Structure 1
Amino acid sequence: MAVMPDQHVRPDWAGPVARILIVDDSVVARAVIARMIDQGRGYEVAAAVSDVHMALAFLAQEKVDVILLDIELPGIDGLTALPDIIAAGGGAKVLVVSSACDEGAAVTVQALALGAVDTLVKPNNGSMIGGFATSLERKLQRLTQSGEPAPQPQRQAPSLAAGDEFDIVAIGASTGGIHALSHVLRALPPSFQVPILITQHLPESFMPYFAAQVAILAGRPCDVATDHMRIRPGRAILAPGDAHLRCTRLAEGGAALRLLRTPASSGCMPSVDPMLASAAEIFGARTLAIMLSGMGRDGAEGAAKVAAAGGCVIVQDQASSVIWGMPGAVARAGNASAILPPDEIGRVVAAQRRPA
């Protein structure tokens, strides 16, 4: 293997050190980002390379914890290479750092769907200071923080209170959740008609493209929710980035959604809690709630109400989660009917049926 350029080591930190690989074709960007990392505590730059081939060669021989990947690279671009980078990383978390990740950019949702854990807009070389350094530090802290011990996994398929029938699937997710969601949705057959509600922590400007991605993955129409939108069989509905979903009964029968913009106890906008709590109120034991990868505790209160109503709550397991905050909070509270990886969650959901 060729000698890797731009290598850095942190000899001044006695605690656990997270190893970072930088993949960026700009010499200036590599140097500036490496200097930012070196100024932090608990990180070291394992290598800084200029293209995908060098990154894969390095990962074939070395382990890292986080990979900072640019999209615009010579030869193979970062988005095309992302699945190979993830595989070669052997569990390393990929943070896409690119000027291509502008607010609402399609490439951002594509990268997250392919398995990147997060994205960060890279400013031009003349302004890579201040806010960018703070954002990079915050994201690295989040991606390298130690999680709490997991409870004993419950890998059995859950049994629903109403046999194998339910009326609504409500899914909550945040960091790392889009990739997990893609695995769940791909398992659903075209005949699956139970309505699906999704609250994913994303800005409002990302939602139209995210809805298009979900429609492809789930093989069914997907809408960004509007106020008073009816909940219909065979469709998926997303919480908009600026409002929570709340289920409500219709006088003529059926159910619809109201949009709430009041602050949630979790501090998240949109929040998973109102969606799950209202689903439990309207659909009771025929509610299937799913909690995927994400930071914090959003959804824990709503999941408790689903469990209290006799519904079923499935959470993503710790091993497959980028951050086991949201699913872990539900599991530690004792409200998880099962703890499973996304592929198995998808199979469990696909095996259910809507009552006639």
Structure 2
Amino acid sequence: MGASSSRPIRVLLVDDSLVARTVLARLLDGHSEFEIAGASPTADHAIEFLGGQDIDIVVLDVEMPGKDGLTALPEILAASDGARVLIVSSAAEAGASATIRALTLGAADTLLKPTAGNFAGEFAQKFVDALTRIGHAAARPGRGEGRVRENAHRPATPAPIVPLRQVRTGHVSCLAIGASTGGLHALSAFLRGLAPDFRAPILVTQHLPPPFMPYFAAQLRDIAGRPTSVAAEGAPLVPGEILVAPGEGHIRLARKASRIVVHIDTAPAPSRCMPSVDPMFEAVAQMFGDDGVGVVLTGMGRDGTIGAEAIVRAGGEILAQDSGSSVVWGMPGSVAQAGLASLVLPPEDLARHVCAREAGAAWK
């Protein structure tokens, strides 16, 4: 799937308001690069519609009767087999919890829906600009890369066979987790799968812009039931606590006297992601060696593969989310196909393995 030069970018509008659907469609009048492929009044209708259509962008409202947009987002991504989702909602203010959740569940972008009568002018331009940017990304080679979850109307794709390394046993002194598209759902499943007495410090790199990181950290704190904060320069690693990479830098580590502390690195990473999983994994390899564990969850691209190689060379262990539970099997698929992962499983099963390694007993 994907838009190409031979046809317009196909857009599905999902909003319970007939007025909103009509106005959004009219905003694209005169823009020949787009085609309104359909309009759905409910999320369930959209999911059913996507089963037999080739759609590039889904414009999705959040607050709808029945199944709301955020609840339906993972199903829409799966049913569309790789379409990008633009959230257009009155709940999508910058920093709002709905915005953070949408981005971490896999939305490509969000846009605040104006009040009735204010769709023209500035909003109209922002809407077209967002669709253009997302549409160009959808047209690039690799769109839907690694996707294997299929909807009920299509034959299932067999899970790829990947080489696995020997499963590690023993203590865990540091746990580092990388995620991107669909990360919040996967992180939720993983963190809830950790035993309450898991005591190793936890580092998280999630691809999100800087303004959203404090809200994202707050969500992880509520989900995991652990102290969680955005990592800052010099912050110590504390057993059982979570540090989230800031949006403007990568997590690296340094030794200060008897403590291991965070160093924020703002240099460009090979993956071009900011923040990037690779520097975090490299730091864990350097500081913790065979007691370090890296987990790669759902996400587009290959961020994390370089760092995963460093962890494996140091004797540590890499775990990857399986294709069936991933929104996009790009990042975990890359480390799995490279033969760097010892387990490729759903997040909750990976968490159980980490706990089984008597986590935290060898904290240095």
Asked if TM exceeds 0.5, the reply is yes
Residue type matched to 2:14 in 1? I
CA 1:195/1:185 → structure 2, altered by over 3 Å: closer, same or farther? same
Q: How does 1:4-19 map to 2 (within 5 A)?
A: none
Change (3 A) 1:151 1:68: same
* Structure-2 residue corresponding to 1:177: 183
* Secondary structure of 1:20 counterpart: strand
The residue identity in structure 2 corresponding to 1:227 is: E
Give the structure 1 partner of residue 345 of structure 2: 340
In the superposition, relative to structure 1, how do residues 108 and 146 fare at CA in structure 2: closer, same or farther (>3 Å)?
A: closer
Instruction: Summarize the Cα distance change of 1:129–1:30 in structure 2 as closer, same or farther, 3 Å threshold.
Output: closer
For residues 220-274 of structure 1, what are the alpha-carbon distances to aligned partners after superposition, in whole Å with 9 as ceiling and x for unaligned? 11011111111010101001111111011232x2311111112222222111111
Q: In structure 2, what is the equivalent of residue 7 of structure 1?
A: none
Work out the CA distance in 2 between the residues paired with 1:37 and 1:191: 56
The CA deviation string for residues 111-156 of structure 1, in whole angstroms up to 9 with x for no partner, is 356x4544321464113444532432443565682425975146x8
1:133 counterpart = 2:128: yes
The equivalent residue for 2:253 is 247
The 2-side partners of 1:180 and 1:158 are apart by: 24
Residues 273 and 303 of structure 2 are in contact (CA less than 8 Å); yes or no, is this contact kept in structure 1? yes
Closer, same or farther: CA 35–175 of 1 in aligned 2, 3 Å: farther
Establish whether residue 315 from structure 1 lines up as the match of residue 313 from structure 2. Answer: no
| In 1: Cα distance, 2:103 partner to 2:291 partner | 31
SS at match of 1:242: coil
Choose between structure 1 and 2 for higher RCO, CA contacts under 8 A separated by at least 6 residues: 2
How far is 1:216 from its partner? 1.5
1:20 corresponding residue in structure 2:
12
Give the match for residue 270 of structure 1: 275
Matched, 1:196 2:187: no
Deviates more, 1:20-29 or 1:295-304: 20-29
Amino acid at match of 1:121: L
Mapped contact 2:8–2:33 kept (Cα < 8 A): no
Query: 2: distance between equivalents of 1:291 and 1:143?
Result: 23
RMSD in angstroms over aligned alpha carbons?
3.3
Contact 2:299 2:327 in 1 (8 A): yes
Distance in 2 between residues matched to 1:60 and 1:321, nearest whole Å:
20
From 50, 54, 59, the equivalent of 1:68 is 59
Contact 2:294 2:317 in 1 (8 A): yes
The answer to whether 1:217 aligns with 2:223 is yes
Distance 1:129 1:315, change over 3 A: same
Alignment correspondent of 2:304: 299
**Secondary structure of 1:256's match?**
strand
Q: Is the 8 A contact 2:179 2:207 kept in 1?
A: yes
User: What amino acid sits opposite 2:345 in the alignment?
Assistant: L
Aligned-pair identity in percent equals: 37
Q: State how far apart, in whole Å, the 1-side matches of 2:192 and 2:128 are.
A: 37
Paired residue type of 2:33: Q
Secondary structure in 2 matching 1:248? strand
Q: How many residues in Structure 1 have an aligned counterpart in Structure 2? A: 331
Q: Aligned partners of 2:237 and 2:315: how far apart in 1?
A: 21
Please say if residues 50 and 79 of structure 2, whose CA atoms lie closer than 8 Å, have aligned partners that are also in contact: no
Structure 1 stretch 273-282 or stretch 287-296: which is displaced more?
A: 287-296
Equivalent position amino acid for 1:220 in 2: R
2:248 is matched by which residue type in structure 1? D
Distance in structure 2 (CA, Å) of the matches to 1:36 and 1:306: 52
Q: 2: CA distance between counterparts of 1:61 and 1:221?
A: 42
Find 1:56's aligned residue among 44, 60, 63.
Answer: 44
Counterpart of 1:3 in structure 2 is none
Counterpart contact for 1:101–1:119, Cα < 8 Å: no
The residue identity in structure 1 corresponding to 2:183 is G
Segments of structure 1 that go 5 or more residues without pairing to the other structure are 1-11
In structure 1, C-alpha distance between the alignment counterparts of 2:73 and 2:165, rounded to whole Å: 32
1:188-209 CA deviation, whole Å, 9 max, x = no partner?
A: 1211111100011112211221
Deviates more, 1:24-33 or 1:339-348: 24-33
Report the AA paired with residue 136 of structure 1. L
- Please give the alpha-carbon distance, in whole angstroms, between the structure 2 residues aligned to 1:330 and 1:347: 20
Separation in structure 1 between the aligned mates of residue 102 and residue 30 of structure 2, nearest angstrom:
24
Q: Which 10-residue stretch deviates more, 145-154 or 307-316?
A: 145-154
Give the aligned residue type for 2:92.
C
* Amino acid across the alignment from 1:20: L
Question: Given residue 68 of structure 1, which amino acid in structure 2 is its aligned partner?
Answer: V
Q: How big is each residue's C-alpha offset from its partner over 1:79-120, in whole Å with a ceiling of 9 and x where there is no partner?
A: 5xx32565588634654222432322221123356x454432
CA contact under 8 A between 1:165 and 1:352: conserved in structure 2? yes
Q: Of residues 32, 36, 39 in structure 1, which corresponds to 2:33?
A: 39
Which runs of no fewer than 5 residues in structure 2 stay unpaired? Answer: 148-158
Q: Contact 1:279 / 1:287 at 8 angstroms: preserved in 2?
A: yes
CA distance in 1, matches of 2:40, 2:16: 6
Contact conserved, 1:187 with 1:347, CA < 8 A, in 2?
yes
Report the counterpart of residue 331 of structure 1 in structure 2.
336
Name the SS of the counterpart of 2:79 in structure 1.
Answer: coil
Residue equivalent to 1:152: 161
Task: Give SS of 1:166's match.
Answer: coil
Q: Give the letter aligned to residue 301 of structure 1.
A: I
How far apart in 1 are the matches of 2:307 and 2:8? Answer: 36
TM-score w.r.t. length of structure 2: 0.78
